[in-house]
Amino acid sequence: MMVPVASAQAARGAKANKGPRALGLIEMTNGKARLIPIVILIDGQYFDASAYKASPVPMALWGGTVYEGVRTGVSQGLFTVKSVLEKPDTHQWMGEGTWLPASEIHPKSSSKSASAIPRGMNDDEGPPVLRHAGANKPKAPDAASATPTPPSPPPAPQPAPPSIPPPATQPPVDETKPTAPSVPAPPDKDAPTLKRGIPAPRPAEPLTVTPVEAKHGSSAKPTTTSLQAQQVFPAISAEDGPEPHPYSYSMKPEEEQQYRKKLLVMAADEVRARAKLLAAQTIQAPEPAKNSAPRKSAASKPAQPGFEDVQLHAFDLNSSNEPVLILSAKARLPQSSTEKEAAAGLQYIVTLVARQDVNADFHKVFSNVTDTSHLDVIPQMELIDAVDVDGDGRGELLFRQASDAGTAFVVYRVIGNQLYALFQGTPTE
């Protein structure tokens, strides 16, 4: 299904974000994190993060770049890029580094949190303490220089006037003492350097170029694995922007069952429409006219598909208390005598996006139905999560497309009853 591409953020009525703001995908396998760059927002335009300024390393994977992993809008931890790998055959980039879970960030001391948290909400409390500790060291030498001056006057009063300069220097030392309280002023000038403790590794970018040259083909294998085989969630890297907030929509058990039933009815219609289209495209041998009568009785009742692996996700993307529902499932239609050859063993893969308005009415926003025999034409859609890609505080939908040509990432924005593609990646194997 073709989805219109959103050309401007003004269509949403939100404040435009010029960036830079990068979106990546974190894959956690056995406690080891790896990041795949997806898209980067520069001057209000979206670019492929794996190709933007890739000379020699993409900007999104510069050494020391910090990403904040989020799941349904809730912070999960911080990922710092340390080294970069490139897949030799497809030239796909990915970053390796250190992962700091959110549970281990807050218990840390203020000094470590100031160097680890990129947003720097509490950095003002940490740096002054460190500054005062460092500022006392220059005072100590001044005091040491002041203590030797008292013993210096006894030997030097009578010999010569050269000894007079030391006492002359002594009063300036006394003058510095009243000005000692003003010493904390320089720390205020240096405070930004501590706040930039995370972005500071960027100048060390050339250091990460050397490990990039070593290409490991085996490291790219997890990129083609299923989302259920590992922990996967998006990550954002930006110097500014709103604080993460949850996009999940709370449902009672009875509400969830009600939503599931309504969306399965909509999904059944999409599956039957896809099966009808495939049947029309299938060329079958003509049958005798005498067998035309039984077809009417077979087509009198629509076939009900059987669903499996049903997953339902609900998001409140713009804090309007109007849920956006995403249903993904696999389906099979019962085989009739007339469809036995055309649809034997055919499995359909459905992804349906719907929205409920304030009147509790459901509206279909997007549907993608493919089957195991046509993945080369229509890719399978796998929902990753809701994430704030443009930094306006409202969530977008991040999908991964899987087809015979490879995998690609797509970012969609929900506007009313339509879905707009902000970014469409190119498939990579």
Residue 125 pLDDT > 90, yes or no?
no
Phi/psi for 101 (5° steps) reads -60, 155
Each residue's pLDDT tens digit, 174-209: 444 444 444 444 444 433 322 323 444 444 443 344
Percent of the chain surpassing pLDDT 90? 44
Residue 381 pLDDT > 80, yes or no?
yes
Distance, CA of 284 to CA of 338 (rounded, Å) = 10
Each residue's pLDDT tens digit, 53-99: 988 899 999 999 999 999 999 999 999 999 999 887 777 899 999 99
- The residue with tokens 């991040």 is 398
Residue 18 pLDDT > 90, yes or no?
no
Token pair of 193, please?
A: 């350097």
Name the 3-class secondary structure at 409: strand
Q: How confident is the model at residue 290 (pLDDT cuts 50, 70, 90)?
A: low
Q: How confident is the model at residue 387 (pLDDT cuts 50, 70, 90)?
A: very high
Give the chain's mean pLDDT: 73
Q: How confident is the model at residue 115 (pLDDT cuts 50, 70, 90)?
A: very low
- The residue with tokens 């720390």 is 187
Residue 321 pLDDT > 60, yes or no?
yes
Q: Please give the pLDDT value at position 303.
A: 83
Contact by Cβ (8 Å): 96, 85? yes
Contact by Cβ (8 Å): 396, 386? yes
Residue 164 pLDDT > 80, yes or no?
no
Q: Please give the pLDDT value at position 64.
A: 93
What single DSSP character describes residue 9? Answer: G
Distance, CA of 240 to CA of 11 (rounded, Å) = 22
Q: How confident is the model at residue 270 (pLDDT cuts 50, 70, 90)?
A: very high
- The residue with tokens 């009742």 is 301
Q: Please give the pLDDT value at position 105.
A: 82
- The residue with tokens 């000379």 is 55
Q: Please give the pLDDT value at position 154.
A: 52
Please indicate whether residue 70 or residue 372 has the higher confidence score (pLDDT).
70
Q: Please give the pLDDT value at position 289.
A: 55
The average pLDDT across 238-267 equals: 92
Distance, CA of 263 to CA of 82 (rounded, Å) = 44
Distance, CA of 138 to CA of 146 (rounded, Å) = 13
The average pLDDT across 234-263 equals: 92
Q: How confident is the model at residue 48 (pLDDT cuts 50, 70, 90)?
A: very high
